[in-house]
């Protein structure tokens, strides 16, 4: 009986140990599988099976149904990428034989036939002159070419991917050998890439017809070289997808910023060329006027000489006539009467000569005055033209700051995605290792052995969130108080809460100073600026040549407001209104344009932060009797202010940006789907960043005096929806179609009669 009881106890203990082991294995699977499941957005299978799957963090968040087909792969492929992959397979097979394989005998045969081809010098003129060169002289149709690319494992953009993940490699392949082959095949790819066009065509059928870094999709060249660049939102899932979309949106924004800067440079170039043409025309005109005046001078001298001669001749004639008509007695009495008469004629002739001389001088003065006025007007036209060009240059300077910020944000988004993918890969690897270690245990652990692990996991999760929030606090304080610190690195490297506590104490010390560069921010007097005269600085061109659009400032402003270039249409082609873009920039700091027109353009303040905005439409009289017009003032989500105390190595401007629809406090790897946006239930991928923030304003028909006299308090129609943002950056004013006459509102606002738009900026700043 005792033996049976002992055996039963041992059996029970064994079953309990086995149950404990199974429980621990399940807990490990759940602990490591859950974050991977959430990150990749799996919808089929079980969390407990995730560690048994082959998880690729670079692709796991893409629905397999959305992957490119061989036909699509062929369309999107390019000769350079195909050549790289084929080159690697060919050279490795030449060195290691059948130990290296693509897994497809037909493709192995293509690689073998290409061996001699891929031993040539990439500088050989015969290289790449024909499309068939990419396959070693073997003709490959589009589908086969796509299969070549797909089999050779192109999964990432050129220069980053072009991996050999699908090549079967022997274990004895030397890393140095692979490095040599990659260097050679990279030169092959680079040589072929140089043959691609530099300009974007209007249409395409293959990616080879697009510039480098672009692919052909639906007959058009788009930015990207990967399926994810064309994947629709429904193809993506999980928190990694949201981060990938953030990266894609950041890259698109960076490209758009670069394009805007290039367009601004082109506008500046066109404006300066127009000024040069105007100057050449004025110089030619001045030379013509000078030559004409010289000719007129000679003619005037000749005319004056003729007039003087005529006057003298007339006087002689008059004197002779009087002498012939005089009495005999007068002659014998000494001719005194004749002397008086001839003397009077001479005086009259002299008076006429003096009069002609004065008229001659007046003609000279008049011609000089006309020439001077012409030169003054020409100089005025040229200065107006140059001022317009300088404003384009100021816009270019402003947009260069935005472009730099956009590329920095793209780099941050890309780094966040790479770090998250590395975390998923580490979780998958560590989870498998933990399962193997647990399954290999021979001595059962103590009861409740996983409690400590749960506490450690909780610590790491809370510490990760604490680092994130502290980092955001550091960035906020640095932005608000315009200083740079080493605390960012300290926060990222922190492994203990005491480090974060020390950082927070330092931030509190900085905040308690309440000043920026030794000065305290204060409410600046509200500034009213004219969109026509101050921001756009549209000069008077009425005296300019006809070819240069000789219009008054008001005519130029109205032409701009009603231009079809600024018309907005929705996806159905319906007219939505007029959107006029403009830039508010510290042109005094740029040393461009006329910075004396408004205080916001000067360098006397810094750390400018918006508080409220309002708009006045002077002289507007609406036939429908409305007392205000609904307009929208937009500001780009990248903005900047002047730095209060910039050192020589610092940019004089502090640039920042916001992503209003992104919840920065939520960590995708900790909070899961809650990190997608502030409103996850209505969030759509690709919509997490908006280019502009919008302020709704009820614009009244008031002038500058009314807007300036309303003080710092809130006034009717004013909006605080842009509050706390920096003052400078790109703006746009949008007139909805529903407010315009003839577009669903008879008697509404008539843009063609609008003389100006006044914008009232209320802001906080620091004396610089």
Is the same domain home to 161 and 193? yes
The span from the CA of 718 to the CA of 731, in Å, is: 17
Question: CB–CB of 350/240 below 8 Å?
Answer: no
Give the burial string for 502-537 (b: 16+ CB within 10 Å, else e): ebbeebeebeeeeebbebebeebebbbbbbbbbbbb
Write out the DSSP string of 632-661. EEEEEEEEEEE-SS--TTS-SEEEEE--TT
Is the same domain home to 146 and 220? yes
Half-sphere exposure of 283 (CA within 13 A, CB side): 6
Q: Report yes or no on 475 lying in a domain.
A: yes
The span from the CA of 206 to the CA of 273, in Å, is: 38
55: helix, strand or coil: coil
Q: Which of 52-61, 77-86, 502-511, 532-541 has the lowest mean pLDDT?
A: 77-86
Q: Which of 408, 419, 410, 479 is nearest to 667 (CA)?
A: 419
The DSSP call for residue 139 is -
Q: Report yes or no on 392 lying in a domain.
A: no
The label of the residue with tokens 């609008």 reads 754
Instruction: Determine which helix (DSSP H) or strand (DSSP E) holds 181, and give its type and residue range.
Output: helix 175-193
State pLDDT tens for residues 337-349.
444 445 544 545 5
State pLDDT tens for residues 494-542.
889 999 999 998 888 878 776 776 677 777 778 889 998 888 888 787 7
The span from the CA of 536 to the CA of 585, in Å, is: 11
Confidence of residue 137 (pLDDT cuts 50, 70, 90): very low
Could you say which of 177, 202, 230 is where a domain stops? 230
pTM for the full predicted model? 0.57
Is the same domain home to 608 and 698? yes
Give the burial string for 679-715 (b: 16+ CB within 10 Å, else e): eeeebebeebbeebbebebbbbbbeeebbeebeeeeb
Question: CB–CB of 585/399 below 8 Å?
Answer: no
Q: Which of 103-117, 205-219, 320-334, 668-682 has the lowest mean pLDDT?
A: 320-334
Q: Phi and psi of 325, rounded to 5°?
A: -95, 5
Instruction: Quote the tokens at residue 404.
Output: 């730099």
Q: Report yes or no on 699 lying in a domain.
A: yes
The span from the CA of 697 to the CA of 702, in Å, is: 14
Cα-Cα-Cα-Cα torsion 200, 201, 202, 206, nearest 10 degrees, comes to -110
Q: Which of 627, 629, 650 is nearest to 750 (CA)?
A: 629
Q: Does residue 298 or residue 117 have the better pLDDT? A: 117
Q: Report yes or no on 101 lying in a domain.
A: yes
The DSSP call for residue 533 is I
The span from the CA of 108 to the CA of 92, in Å, is: 11
Could you say which of 179, 195, 230 is where a domain stops? 230
Residue 672 falls in which region: left (phi positive, over 0), alpha (psi -120 to 50) or beta: left
Q: Does residue 768 or residue 15 have the better pLDDT? A: 768
Exposed/middle/buried for residue 223 (C-beta within 10 Å: 0-12, 13-18, 19+): middle
Question: CB–CB of 425/60 below 8 Å?
Answer: no
pLDDT in the model for residue 278:
64
Q: Which of 64-73, 236-245, 499-508 has the lowest mean pLDDT?
A: 64-73
Q: Which of 25, 60, 27 is nearest to 45 (CA)?
A: 60
Q: Which of 103-107, 352-356, 649-653, 662-666 has the lowest mean pLDDT?
A: 352-356
The label of the residue with tokens 């899932």 reads 237
Is the same domain home to 220 and 89? yes
Structural domain that includes position 637? 522-658+693-767
530: helix, strand or coil: strand
Question: CB–CB of 581/566 below 8 Å?
Answer: yes
Give me the mean pLDDT over the 753-762 stretch.
90
The span from the CA of 88 to the CA of 380, in Å, is: 67
pLDDT in the model for residue 626:
82
Exposed/middle/buried for residue 455 (C-beta within 10 Å: 0-12, 13-18, 19+): exposed
Is the same domain home to 570 and 491? no
Domains identified in the chain, total number? 3
Exposed/middle/buried for residue 306 (C-beta within 10 Å: 0-12, 13-18, 19+): exposed
Residue 156 pLDDT more than 70?
A: no
Q: Report yes or no on 403 lying in a domain.
A: no
Q: Report yes or no on 126 lying in a domain.
A: yes
State pLDDT tens for residues 432-463.
888 888 777 655 544 444 444 667 778 888 88
109: helix, strand or coil: helix
CB-based contacts of 116: which residues, under 8 Å, 6+ apart?
none
Confidence of residue 631 (pLDDT cuts 50, 70, 90): very high
Question: CB–CB of 367/293 below 8 Å?
Answer: yes
The span from the CA of 763 to the CA of 609, in Å, is: 5
Is the same domain home to 647 and 533? yes
Is the same domain home to 558 and 467? no
The span from the CA of 670 to the CA of 688, in Å, is: 19
Mean pLDDT of the chain: 72
Q: Which of 378, 744, 706 is nearest to 541 (CA)?
A: 378
Residue 180 pLDDT more than 80?
A: yes
pLDDT in the model for residue 166:
55
Label the pairing between strands 653-657 and 628-642. antiparallel
Which residues are 499's β-sheet partners? none
Q: Phi and psi of 531, rounded to 5°?
A: -65, -35
CB-based contacts of 680: which residues, under 8 Å, 6+ apart?
673, 674
pLDDT in the model for residue 676:
47
Is the same domain home to 502 and 561? no
Q: What is the 3-state secondary structure (H, E, C) of 482-511?
A: CCCCCHHHHHHHCCCHHHHHHHHHHHHHHH
Q: How many CB atoms lie within 10 A of CB 730?
A: 23
Q: Does residue 202 or residue 369 have the better pLDDT? A: 202
Confidence of residue 635 (pLDDT cuts 50, 70, 90): very high
How many residues are listed for the chain in this entry? 768
Residue 65 pLDDT more than 80?
A: no
CB-based contacts of 96: which residues, under 8 Å, 6+ apart?
169, 170, 173
Write out the DSSP string of 46-93. -GGGGGGS---TTTTTB-GGGSPPHHHHHHH--HHHHHHHHHHHHHHH
The stretches of 440-578 forming alpha helices (DSSP H) are 451-481, 487-493, 497-513, 553-561
Residue 683 pLDDT more than 50?
A: no
Question: CB–CB of 346/315 below 8 Å?
Answer: yes
The span from the CA of 297 to the CA of 714, in Å, is: 67
Is the same domain home to 536 and 654? yes
Is the same domain home to 599 and 745? yes
Which residues are 223's β-sheet partners? 214
Percent above pLDDT 70 for the chain:
62
pLDDT in the model for residue 170:
72
Exposed/middle/buried for residue 328 (C-beta within 10 Å: 0-12, 13-18, 19+): exposed
The span from the CA of 426 to the CA of 36, in Å, is: 10
Which residues are 606's β-sheet partners? 766
Confidence of residue 19 (pLDDT cuts 50, 70, 90): low
State pLDDT tens for residues 390-429.
666 666 777 777 777 777 777 777 777 888 888 888 888 8
Is the same domain home to 552 and 610? yes
Residue 733 pLDDT more than 90?
A: yes
The span from the CA of 638 to the CA of 228, in Å, is: 26
Q: Report yes or no on 493 lying in a domain.
A: yes
State pLDDT tens for residues 286-327.
655 566 566 556 555 655 555 555 555 555 445 544 444 444
Q: Report yes or no on 639 lying in a domain.
A: yes
The DSSP call for residue 56 is -
Is the same domain home to 594 and 741? yes
Q: Phi and psi of 281, rounded to 5°?
A: -65, -40
CB-based contacts of 655: which residues, under 8 Å, 6+ apart?
401, 402, 404, 405, 638, 639, 640
Q: Which of 173-187, 199-213, 585-599, 733-747 has the lowest mean pLDDT?
A: 585-599
State pLDDT tens for residues 702-730.
888 787 776 655 567 789 999 889 899 89
């Amino acid at each position: 009986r005792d033996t049976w009881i002992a055996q039963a106890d041992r059996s029970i203990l064994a079953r309990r140990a086995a149950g404990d082991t199974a429980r621990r294995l399940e807990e490990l699977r759940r602990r490591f599988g859950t974050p991977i499941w959430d990150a990749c957005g799996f919808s089929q299978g079980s969390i407990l099976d995730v560690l048994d799957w082959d998880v690729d963090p670079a692709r796991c968040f893409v629905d397999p149904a959305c992957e490119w087909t061989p036909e699509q792969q062929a369309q999107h492929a390019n000769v350079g990428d195909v050549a790289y992959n084929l080159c690697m397979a060919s050279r490795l097979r030449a060195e290691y034989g059948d130990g290296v394989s693509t897994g497809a005998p037909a493709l192995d045969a293509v690689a073998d036939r290409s061996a001699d081809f891929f031993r040539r010098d990439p500088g050989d003129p015969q290289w790449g002159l024909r499309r068939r060169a990419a396959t070693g002289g073997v003709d490959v149709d589009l589908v086969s070419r796509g299969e070549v690319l797909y089999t050779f494992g192109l999964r990432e953009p050129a220069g980053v991917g072009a991996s050999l993940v699908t090549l079967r490699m022997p274990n004895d392949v030397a890393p140095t050998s692979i490095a040599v082959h990659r260097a050679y095949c990279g030169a092959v790819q680079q040589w072929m890439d140089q043959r691609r066009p530099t300009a974007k065509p209007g249409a395409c059928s293959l990616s080879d017809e697009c510039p480098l870094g672009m692919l052909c999709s639906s007959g058009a060249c788009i930015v990207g070289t990967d399926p994810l660049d064309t994947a629709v939102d429904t193809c993506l899932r999980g928190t990694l997808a949201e981060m990938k979309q953030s990266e894609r949106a950041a890259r698109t924004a960076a490209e758009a910023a670069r394009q805007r800067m290039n367009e601004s440079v082109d506008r500046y170039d066109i404006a300066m060329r127009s000024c040069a043409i105007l100057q050449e025309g004025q110089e030619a005109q001045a030379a013509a006027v000078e030559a004409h005046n010289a000719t007129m001078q000679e003619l005037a001298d000749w005319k004056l000489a003729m007039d003087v001669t005529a006057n003298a001749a007339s006087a002689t004639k008059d004197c002779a006539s009087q002498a012939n008509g005089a009495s005999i007695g007068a002659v014998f009495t000494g001719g005194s009467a004749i002397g008086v008469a001839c003397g009077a004629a001479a005086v009259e002739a002299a008076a006429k000569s003096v009069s002609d001389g004065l008229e001659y001088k007046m003609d000279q003065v008049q011609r000089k005055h006309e020439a001077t006025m012409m030169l003054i007007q020409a100089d005025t036209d040229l200065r107006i033209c140059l001022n317009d060009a300088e404003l384009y240059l100021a816009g270019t300077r402003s947009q260069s700051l935005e472009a730099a910020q956009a590329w920095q944000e793209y780099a941050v988004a890309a780094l966040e995605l790479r770090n998250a993918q590395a975390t998923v890969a580490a979780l998958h690897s560590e989870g498998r290792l933990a399962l193997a270690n647990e399954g290999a245990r021979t001595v059962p652990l103590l009861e409740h052995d996983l409690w400590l692990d749960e506490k450690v996991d909780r610590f790491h999760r809370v510490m990760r969130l604490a680092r994130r929030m502290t980092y955001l606090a550091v960035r906020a304080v640095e932005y608000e108080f315009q200083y740079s610190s080493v605390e960012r690195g300290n926060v990222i490297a922190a492994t203990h809460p005491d480090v974060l506590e020390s950082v927070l104490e330092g931030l509190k010390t900085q905040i308690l100073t309440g000043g920026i560069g030794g000065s305290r921010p204060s409410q600046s007097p509200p500034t009213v600026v004219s969109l026509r005269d101050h921001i756009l600085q549209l000069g008077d061109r009425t005296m300019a040549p006809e070819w240069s659009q000789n219009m008054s400032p008001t005519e130029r402003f109205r032409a701009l407001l009603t231009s079809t270039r600024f018309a907005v249409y929705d996806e159905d082609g319906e007219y939505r209104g007029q959107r006029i873009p403009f830039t508010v920039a510290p042109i005094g700091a740029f040393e461009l344009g006329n910075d004396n027109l408004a205080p916001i353009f000067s360098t006397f303040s810094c750390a400018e932060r918006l508080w409220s905005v309002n708009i006045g439409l002077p002289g507007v009289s609406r036939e429908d009797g409305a007392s205000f017009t609904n307009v929208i003032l937009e500001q780009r989500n990248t903005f900047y202010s002047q730095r209060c105390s910039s050192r020589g190595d610092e940019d004089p401007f502090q640039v920042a940006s916001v992503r209003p629809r992104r919840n920065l406090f939520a960590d995708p790897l900790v909070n899961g789907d809650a990190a997608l946006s502030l409103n996850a239930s209505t969030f759509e991928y690709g919509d997490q960043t908006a280019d502009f923030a919008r302020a709704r304003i009820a614009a009244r028909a008031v002038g500058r005096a009314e807007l300036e006299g309303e003080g710092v308090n809130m006034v009717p129609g004013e909006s605080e929806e842009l509050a706390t943002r920096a003052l400078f950056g790109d703006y746009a004013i949008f007139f909805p179609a529903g407010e315009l006459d003839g577009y669903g509102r008879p008697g509404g606002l008539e843009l063609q009669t609008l003389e100006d738009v006044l914008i009232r900026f209320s802001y906080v700043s620091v004396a610089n």
